[in-house]
Structure 1
Amino acid sequence: MSMSYMPLELQKKWRSVALLSIAQIFALSLWFSATALIPALKEEFTIGDFHASLFSSSVAIGFVIGTFISALFSIADRFPPKQIFTISVLVASLSNISILLLDPLSNTVILLRLVTGVSMLGIYPIGMKMIATWARNDAGTLVGLLVGALTLGSALPHLLNLVNIDWLDWRFTLVGSSSLAFLSSIIIQFVDLGHPIPKAPPFKVTLALEGWKDKAIRYANFGYFGHMWELYAMWAWIGIFLLESFRTSGEENPGILANILTFTTIGIGAAGSLVSGKLADRYGRTTVTMAAMMTSGSCALLIGLFFGAHPVFLTIICVIWGISVIADSAQFSTCVIELSPPNMIGTMLTIQTCTGFLISLVTIHLIPVFVSNFGWEVAFMSLAIGPFLGTYAMGRLRGHPKALLMAGGHR
C-alpha cells in the first residue's frame, strides 16, 4: 500500500518511524566512530591493546554512567523525549569531533569518548520509548526496526573508513559520523509521538529497583545480559580479527577487505533484527530470542576455527553471526515494554540497557587478554557463555504466567 492510499494516522506513524530510524542511524554512528579507526591508528601511532580497548569501552562506561543517572532520577520519563534526544546528540557530536584537535594517544581523547557515551543516554533508550508510542500489536517489529537502525549506525564508521581522502585520511570517519549525528538533531524535530506519554510517577530513588522486583522482567533482563556479554565485544573486535586473519592468509589489501566484511557483518544484523521482530510478534519473544542466542553462541565457539582461512569461509560464518548476534536484541527491550507499567517504560528500559552495557565492558577488555594468551583461534569462544545462559533465562520466562502478556499471548 502506497503512502497516498494509507489512512492519515498510518501515514503519520510510518513517516515518524522512518524519520526516527534515520535519526538513530546517524546518531549511533558515533559509538564506533573511534573504534573503527584502531587498525589505521595502530599503523600511524604506537597504540597498545588496552588503550585500543578504551576506544570502545570508554563509550560503554560513559553510557553506563549516563543511564544509571537517568534511571536513578527517571529522566527518560520526566522530560520531553525530543528535547532529551536533541541535547544528547549535540553534546555527543561536539565531543566526538573535538578528538581531531588532540593527539590520539592523549588521555583526553578517552575522556571525550566517555562524554560521548554519557550522551547516549538520551539517544538509544529514548528512541525505543518514542517508537513504543506507535506500537499496535507490532511492538516487536517496531523495536526491531529501531535496533536495526542502531546496527546500521554501529556499522557505518567501517563504511566511512573506506573513503580515501589523503588530507583527511582516518579523520574523515570522525568528521563524517559527527556531521551525521548533528543532522539527526534536526531530523528528530519532525518525529511525532503515537500517543501522549503518561505522567511519570512521583520521584523515588527506589523506582530504579523495580526492574529487579518483578520476576518476569528480571528473566527478560537476564536474557538481555547474556546477549550483551557477547554483542559489543564481537562488534568491537571482529574488525581486528578479520584484519589479522586476512594478513595470516596472505590476502591482498587485507585492510580494505577487513573493512568491507566488518561493515557487512555488523550491518547485515539490521535485516536480522527486523525479520526477527516480525517473527517474534507472530510466534513469540522467547522462541525467537532462544533460537537467536543458540545460533550466535555456536558461531562464537566456531569462528576461531576459521582464523586464517579463505575469505569465503569467514564471510559465511561472519554473516550468520552478524545476523544472529543482534536478532534477539530488540525482543528483550520489547519484553520490558510489554511487562512494565506504561508510565515507567523509559526507566525500565534505561535500567536494562545500563546493566547490559556494564556487562559488555567485561568482555570488551577480556578479548585482548584471551588473544594474548591463547590466540584468535580461541578468544571468541569465551563469548558463547553469555548467549547460552541467556537462553536458559528466556526459557524460565517462557514458563512464567506473565509471558502471556507478550506478543499478544505468544510466548
Structure 2
Amino acid sequence: MLHSLLTRTPLAVIVIAQLFGTSLWFSVNSVAPALAEAVGLSESELGILTMAVQAGFVTGTLIIAISGLADRIRASRLFAIAGVMGALINAAFILIAADLYLATAARFFTGLCLAGIYPMGMKLVVSWTPRYAGAALGWLVGMLTLGTALPHLLRGATFELPWQWPLLLASALAVVAAALIHSLGDGPHLPTASPGIRPGAGIKAFVQRNFRASAFGYFGHCWELYAFWTLTPFLVTRELERLGSDPALTPWVAFLIIGLGLPGCVQGGRMSRWLESFNVARGALAVSGALCLFYPLLGTAPPLLLLALLAVWGTTVIADSPQFSALASATAPRENVGAALAIMNAVGFAVTIPAIALTTSLWASQSLHVLWWLLPGPVLGLLTLHRMNRRDLHEI
C-alpha cells in the first residue's frame, strides 16, 4: 500500500529523499566554529575534512562505475544501503572528532556512502520521469543544494545547543531518506543492464562527442561549485562582521545563500523546456563566472551589496548542474547510463578537491582575491559547451 502511494508522486519522493540524504555532506561544516572551539579545529583542518568527504565520494563513484555496480544493482537498493550506512558513520564522527585522523577517515567513509545517494538519485529520476529530464533533474539537484545547506539551518535552529545536535539530526534524516527510496523502488523507464556488463563500461561513454562535451562542462562547473560552498561561511562572516551583526546570524545567512540554489535549479529546469538545457547551462555558468571575476574587485563595497551578490551567486552557481546531468544522461549509451553518470560524477568531484584545498589554504592570505582561483572552471565549461554538436540534441 505504501509503495502504491509513493509511486503516485515518484519525483517528489526522490527529491525529498535526496534532500534528507545529502544533509550528511556539509554536516560538519555547519558546526565548524563550535567544533573549532571544542576540539581546536582550524580553517585548514576544516578544509581537510571537507576534502575527505569529496575524496570518499570520488572513490565510491569510481567503484560503482568501474565495477558496473551502478547498473547491476537496483538503484533504490544501493541508495537505501548507502543512506543507512552514511547516517551511522556521520553520527560516529561525534565520538572521534577530537582525533583529526579518525575524523578524516569518518568523513571519507561518509563521502563513500554519498556516492550511493547522489548518482543513484539521478538514475532514479531518469527511470521514473524520463520526459523533460532537465526539469526533473532541476528539482533533484536543487534538493542536493538544499541538502548541502540544510546543516547550516539545523545549526541555526540549535545554536544554543551542543554542536553534536545538527549531526544527529542529519543522520536521522538520512535514515528517513533510505526508508523512502527503499519503499519506492526503481522506475520502469530504464532498461535493465545485462548481468554480464563489463567493468569500465561507463568510461566508454566518453567516446560520444556530446557526452564528452557535457562531462567536461560539468567538470569546469565542479571546480567552482564546492569551493564556493566551502567559502560561503567565510564570505558571510566577513560581511556580517563589517555590519557589526550577531555571529549567530552566520549559519542562517549561509543557509539562505546556498539554499537559493534550489529555486535556481528549479527555474533553470523550467526554462530548459523552451530554451533547452544547453542554453540554460551556458547562461548560468556565464553569470557565476562573471562573479568569480568581479566580486574580489568590489571588496570595499557596502556589505549588503556584497551579500546580495552572494545571493545571486548562490542561485546561479548550481543552476547549470542539472542541465549538464540532463545533457549527459541523454547522450550516454542507454545500457550504461548509471555507470556513465557515476564516472562523470567521480571525475567532477575529484576536481573539487584541489579547488577546495587551494582556496581554503589561501583564504587567510588572499581573502576575497582567492575567488579568482575559481574562474578557470567556468571558462573551461563555456569552452567545452561551445564544442557540442547541437544538431544531435533533441528536446534536451
Amino acid at match of 1:394: L
Q: Does 1:357 align with 2:349?
A: yes
Partner of 2:181: 188
Q: What stretches of structure 2 of length at least 5 have no aligned partner?
A: none
Task: Pick closer, same or farther for the CA change 1:384–1:40 going to 2, 3 Å.
Answer: same
Residues 139-288 of structure 1 mapped to structure 2, 5 A cutoff: 139-164=133-158, 166=160, 168-195=161-188, 197-201=190-194, 202-247=196-241, 249-253=242-246, 255-288=247-280
The 8 Å contact of residues 26 and 177 in structure 1, kept in 2 or not, is answered as yes
Shift of 1:114: 0.4
Is the contact between residue 17 and residue 191 of structure 1 (CA under 8 Å) also seen in structure 2? no
Pairwise CA RMSD? 1.9
Distance 1:199 1:388, change over 3 A: same
346 and 44 in structure 1: CA distance in 2 versus 1, 3 angstrom threshold = same
Change (3 A) 1:165 1:326: closer
Q: CA deviation at 1:332?
A: 0.8
**CA 1:162–1:308 in 2, change beyond 3 Å: closer, same or farther?**
farther
CA gap 1:269/1:352 in 2 versus in 1, 3 angstroms = same
The code of the aligned residue for 1:74 comes to G
Q: Is 1:392 aligned to residue 383 of structure 2?
A: yes
- Give 1:279 deviation, angstroms: 1.1
Write the deviation string for residues 89-116 of structure 1: whole angstroms up to 9, x where unpaired. 1110000000111243431111011000
Letter in structure 2 aligned against 1:110: T
1:21 aligns with 2:15: yes
Matches within 5 A, 1:58-77: 58-77=52-71
CA contact (8 A) 1:165 1:172 kept: no
Counterpart Cα distance in 2 of 1:37 and 1:340:
39
| Structure 2 counterpart SS, 1:161 | helix
- Relative to 1, partners in 2 of residues 1:224 and 1:406: Cα closer, same or farther, differing over 3 Å? farther
Query: Counterpart of 1:298 in structure 2: which amino acid?
Result: A
Corresponding residue pairs, total: 392
Q: Distance in 2 between matches of 1:289 and 1:159?
A: 28
Q: Which moved more, 1:196-205 or 1:178-187?
A: 196-205
Q: Which runs of 4+ in 1 moved over 6 A?
A: none
What is the aligned partner in structure 2 of residue 5 from structure 1?
none
- The sequence identity of aligned pairs, in percent, is 31
1:220 corresponds to which letter in structure 2?
S
Distance in 2 (CA, whole Å) between partners of 1:396 and 1:98 is 46
Q: Letter of the aligned partner of 1:232 in structure 2?
A: Y
Amino acid at match of 1:346: G
8 Å contact from structure 1 (residues 66, 119) kept in 2: yes
Q: 1:16 to 1:29 in 2, by over 3 A?
A: same
Q: Does 1:331 align with 2:318?
A: no
Mapped partners of 2:281, 2:96: distance in 1: 42
Distance in 1 separating the partners of 2:70 and 2:211: 18
Residues in 1 aligned to 2:248 and 2:31: alpha-carbon distance in whole angstroms: 13
Task: Report matched runs for 1:368-407 at 5 Å.
Answer: 368-373=360-365, 375-397=366-388, 399-402=389-392, 404-407=393-396
Match of 1:367 among 353, 359, 362: 359
**What is the TM-score with the length of structure 1 in the denominator?**
0.90
Please say if residues 245 and 307 of structure 1, whose CA atoms lie closer than 8 Å, have aligned partners that are also in contact.
Answer: no
Instruction: Measure, in 1, the Cα distance between the counterparts of 2:264 and 2:116.
Output: 25
C-alpha change, 1:243 and 1:158, in structure 2 (3 Å) is same
Amino acid at match of 1:118: L
- What is aligned with 2:294? 302
